Amino acid sequence: MKQYRKYLDPVFLSKLGNMDLVARCAVEGFFSGLHPSPFHGFSVEYSDHREYHSGDELKFVDWKVFGRSDKLYIKQFQQETNTTAYILLDSSQSMAFAGNGGVSKFKYGCFLAAALSYLMLSQCDSTSLILFAERVTKRIGAQSKRTHLNTILAALQNSKPAGQTNLAGILRTIAETTKRRGIIILISDLLDDEADIYEGLSHLKFVKHDVIVFHTMDHQELNLDYEGLIQFEDMESKARMRTFPQSLRQGYRQRVAEFLNDIERTTGNCGIDYCLLDTSKPLDRALVAYLAKRKRLM
Q: Which residues contribute to the site for other proteins (CB under 8 A)?
A: 94, 97, 189, 191, 218, 221, 224, 226, 228-237, 239, 241-244, 247-248, 251-252, 255-256, 259
**Nearest to other proteins of 125, 221 (CB atom):** 221
Which is nearest to 124 in space by CA: 213, 47, 216, 201? 47
- Residue 185 sits at φ, ψ, to 5 deg, of -110, 110
**Nearest to other proteins of 162, 248 (CB atom):** 248
Q: Smallest gap, in angstroms, from Cβ of residue 173 to other proteins?
A: 23
CA distance 260 to 245: 20
Q: Smallest gap, in angstroms, from Cβ of residue 17 to other proteins?
A: 35
Counted residue by residue, the chain has a size of 298
CA distance 116 to 279: 17
- Residue 271 sits at φ, ψ, to 5 deg, of 75, 25
**Nearest to other proteins of 44, 230 (CB atom):** 230
Q: Smallest gap, in angstroms, from Cβ of residue 145 to other proteins?
A: 37
Q: Smallest gap, in angstroms, from Cβ of residue 236 to other proteins?
A: 8
167-198 burial: b if 16+ Cβ within 10 Å, else e = bbbbbbbbbeebeebbbbbbbbbbbbeeeebb
Q: Are 198 and 266 in contact (CB under 8 A)?
A: yes
**Nearest to other proteins of 64, 255 (CB atom):** 255
**Nearest to other proteins of 52, 259 (CB atom):** 259
**Taking the C-alpha atoms of 82, 84, 85 and 89 in order, what is their torsion angle to the nearest 10 degrees?**
160
Q: Smallest gap, in angstroms, from Cβ of residue 191 to other proteins?
A: 6
